[in-house]
Structure 1
Amino acid sequence: MEKPAKKISTSYGLYLGISLILIVVLAYAFDLSLFTKWWFGISLLLFVVIMASMATSKAKKASTSLFKFKDAFGAYFLTVFIGTFISLLFGIILFNFVDSEAAETLTELTIESTRDMMEGFGAPEAQINETLQQLQEENQYSLLNQLKGYGFQLIMYAVIGLIVALVFKEKDTTNA
């Protein structure tokens, strides 16, 4: 990846990270239950993908050579990696050091919303109870679990990034 593309992706990654922190702070301050809403998670996912796609587009415009698949994916993924890593660090600090009670409250809210969702889908009571017991026993906001979640997020964003890279890559017309 060219130096201007790295600079653009890094800048967008920082903007993304700061934006995600702001969103988390607002949700934390106004209504913790937002973290348990499916549409909130989807909105964050779309926001990350849009920001990373914008960075990829800008990197393509700044490119002085053929913008290959590798360049497009690199610009996208660098933006996602930086932005979500900043957000991860903030989440770890917030839920483990600043306000660990918020993590406990979120776990309770998650258990309630999971029960409602599973009952809505008609899941058997035994399965509901087993799932809820697992949620109670595991601290979703521990350092290890947040790092695991981050790893799975990166994999999901990488798969989306492959599609974005296909859209933004330039074809080599000299061999045609």
Structure 2
Amino acid sequence: MKVTNNDSRNYKKNGITFGIITGLASVLTTTLIYSIDLNLFTSPWIGFGNIALYLTIAIVLLVKTKKEFTGIYTFKDAFTTYFISALIGIGISVVFNIILFNLIDPAAKITIKELTIKYMVSAMEKFNAPAATINNAIKDLKENDQFSVMGLLKGSLSNIVFCTIFGLILAAFFKSKTPSQA
């Protein structure tokens, strides 16, 4: 069955809409953490919560788009839908973080870096990491500003790679089964 022009518009429209939703969810999460307590930026639970939130948004996106498809929802369609959404969400998040940590409150990124170093040292000590390893990790963190414009852009590339892998898995799961697979 051939993809109709309307199907193509639906997955692109849904990808854009859910990308904006993902980006706004990221902005809201970052704003809440920033407003409540900068220590939360080092919390693994916040990280797991964010992953769960983005996974939920991605699943809703793909379920909605698959239901709207009149033809076979191919692997490519599912991946493209998710990838459009991921790119827009990452873009919105990065732009917001650049503005927040480089224009509005550059001191916050210094505080978060110090909190990250303390958290990392504590975690490495719990796992009995050698002092040399801990010192190297501290040195790397001090030399790299993850909230600088370049640091955020580099981080976004890592996020895109992660999202690509994640998107490939989701696309394989959500694609329509062909009659021979049923």
Change (3 A) 1:175 1:168: closer
Structure 1: runs of 5+ lacking an equivalent: none
Give the corresponding residue for 1:34: 40
Give the corresponding residue for 2:9: 3
Structure 2: runs of 5+ lacking an equivalent: 1-6
1:2 partner SS: helix
Give, in whole Å, the separation in 2 of the partners of 1:34 and 1:65. 45
Give the corresponding residue for 1:59: 65
The offset of 1:49, in angstroms, is: 2.0
Give, in whole Å, the separation in 2 of the partners of 1:136 and 1:49. 32
Give the corresponding residue for 2:147: 141
2:110 aligned with 1:104, yes or no?
yes
Give the corresponding residue for 2:163: 157
2:56 aligned with 1:50, yes or no?
yes
What letter is aligned with 2:144? E
Q: Please, which of 10, 14, 20 is the counterpart of residue 20 of structure 2? A: 14
Give the corresponding residue for 2:135: 129
Give the corresponding residue for 2:173: 167
Q: Please, which of 31, 46, 55 is the counterpart of residue 25 of structure 1? A: 31
Give the corresponding residue for 2:3: none
Give, in whole Å, the separation in 1 of the partners of 2:59 and 2:15. 10
Give, in whole Å, the separation in 1 of the partners of 2:82 and 2:53. 13
Instruction: Let me know the Cα RMSD of the aligned residues.
Output: 1.5
Normalising by structure 2, report the TM-score: 0.92
The Cα offsets for residues 111-139 of structure 1, whole Å up to 9 and x where unpaired, read as: 00010000011001111112111111221
Normalising by structure 1, report the TM-score: 0.95
**Identity level (%):** 38
For these two proteins, the number of residue pairs brought into alignment is 176
What letter is aligned with 1:144? M
The offset of 1:157, in angstroms, is: 1.4
Change (3 A) 1:152 1:175: closer
The offset of 1:175, in angstroms, is: 8.9
Give, in whole Å, the separation in 2 of the partners of 1:85 and 1:175. 37
Instruction: State the 4+ residue runs in structure 1 displaced beyond 3 angstroms.
Output: none
